[in-house]
């Protein structure tokens, strides 16, 4: 754990969806983590593991059939206990900036990118004069590598990559103490991926802001993160320093190691099997049916210790292999 001051402190965060017939689906279960001032935490895992649901819970953007429990403290404010008025007027944009996973759905279709940026600047800064607002909007666009020649276009006139950059520019407008970026590199080529993660990293490098990046792009995570949280089937199964995760000694959870070994520049060996459905999880460790190290002990849920939840984690001798 970092000794720096936490911007965000999450304890026991769980999200359940109430389905027709009274069935409940556990999308996030008992998540514990901090994001410190000046730090980037990358939350990684396969699609459908609960990463975006966790982000939606922090911002109060869960659908009506979802129930969130636990604590998520941002300073003195418990985000999970906040009412909609507080979330809308105080949290979103001011305390938490968001780069959404589906940017086109978050951009106003009848407004140009410029007008949306300028409106956001004016709302977060209280004005400052038309010229200053325009200048700040253009500066945010430049930071996100959004072309100046496209500022007067509407969202439907943008490619997916340009919509992503527009959403990133909107998130970078304010001085929010926490920035949540949900798949911020979707639709971008490699050069723009590097530019985007570097700009997001600079947000945290001020020293008083934290950054939570949710991604399946492990190359982007390696470039930007101080620590890595690995999520599988709604649970964080490993929380580790990024240098140790991507370098030496490497991750200790079998699932984490499988993610790295599936990369083309590593072993290029896919993890066998498929992730379980969140509504039909096996008893005990959800990864056990796909894990070569599984034993009968894995039918019991492993407790998290030293940042890892596994009955048979890799030890230093294994990690040298």
* Average pLDDT, rounded, for the chain: 92
Quote the CA–CA distance of 1 and 36 in Å, as a whole number.
Answer: 9
User: Among residues 205, 206, 202, 200, which one has the least CA distance to residue 185?
Assistant: 200
As a three-state string, the secondary structure of 144-198 is: CCCCHHHCCCCHHHCCHHHHHHHHHHHHHCCCCCEEEEECCCCCCCHHHHHHHHH
Confidence (pLDDT) at 91: 96
Residue 225 lies inside a defined structural domain of this protein:
yes
Residue 181 lies in a domain: no
Whether 105 shows a pLDDT value over 90: the answer reads no
Range of the domain at 228: 6-83+211-319
Q: What is the mean pLDDT of residues 172-178?
A: 89
Per-residue pLDDT band at 102 (split at 50, 70, 90): confident
Residue 72 lies in a domain: yes
Kindly report the CATH number assigned to the domain that includes residue 72.
3.40.50.300
In a domain? residue 60: yes
Does residue 158 belong to any structural domain of this protein? no
Average pLDDT for 187-197: 89
**Is 282 within the bounds of a domain?**
yes
**Residue 164, in any domain of the structure:** no
Entry pTM? 0.93
Confidence band of 290 (pLDDT split at 50, 70, 90) = very high
pLDDT of 97 > 50? The answer is yes
The answer to whether residue 52 sits within a structural domain is yes
pLDDT score recorded for residue 143? 92
Instruction: Tally the domains of the chain.
Output: 1
**Mean of the pLDDT values across residues 280-293?**
95
| For range 125-150, the mean pLDDT | 91
Tens digits of residue pLDDT in 227-264? 999 999 999 999 999 999 999 899 999 999 999 999 98
Q: What is the mean pLDDT of the segment spanning 295-319?
A: 90
- Cα–Cα distance for residue pair 234/312, rounded to 1 Å: 20
């Amino acid at each position: 754990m970092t000794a720096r001051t936490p911007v965000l402190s999450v304890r026991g965060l769980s999200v359940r969806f109430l389905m027709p017939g009274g069935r409940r689906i556990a999308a996030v279960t008992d998540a514990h983590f901090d994001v410190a001032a000046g730090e980037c935490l990358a939350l990684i895992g396969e699609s459908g593991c609960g990463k975006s649901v966790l982000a939606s819970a922090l911002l109060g953007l869960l659908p009506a059939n979802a129930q969130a429990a636990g604590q998520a403290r941002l300073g003195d404010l418990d985000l999970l206990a906040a009412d909609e008025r507080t979330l809308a007027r105080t949290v979103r944009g001011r305390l938490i900036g968001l780069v959404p996973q589906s940017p086109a759905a978050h951009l106003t279709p009848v407004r140009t990118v410029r007008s949306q940026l300028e409106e956001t600047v004016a709302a977060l800064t209280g004005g400052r004069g038309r010229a200053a607002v325009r200048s700040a909007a253009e500066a945010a666009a430049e930071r996100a590598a959004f072309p100046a020649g496209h500022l007067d276009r509407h969202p439907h006139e943008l490619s997916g990559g340009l919509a992503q950059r527009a959403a990133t520019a909107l998130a970078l407008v304010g001085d929010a103490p926490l920035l949540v970026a949900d798949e911020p590199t979707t639709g971008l080529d490699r050069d723009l991926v590097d530019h985007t993660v570097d700009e997001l990293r600079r947000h945290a490098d001020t020293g008083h802001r934290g950054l939570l990046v949710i991604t399946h792009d492990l190359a982007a995570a390696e470039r930007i993160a101080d620590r890595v949280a690995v999520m599988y089937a709604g649970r964080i199964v490993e929380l580790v320093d990024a240098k140790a995760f991507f370098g030496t000694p490497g991750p200790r959870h079998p699932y984490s190691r499988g993610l790295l070994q599936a990369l083309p520049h590593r072993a290029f060996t896919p993890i066998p099997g498929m992730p379980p459905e969140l509504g039909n999880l096996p008893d005990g460790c959800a990864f056990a049916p796909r894990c070569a190290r599984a034993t009968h002990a894995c039918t019991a849920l492993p407790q998290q210790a030293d940042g890892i939840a596994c009955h048979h984690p890799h030890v230093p001798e294994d990690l040298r292999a």
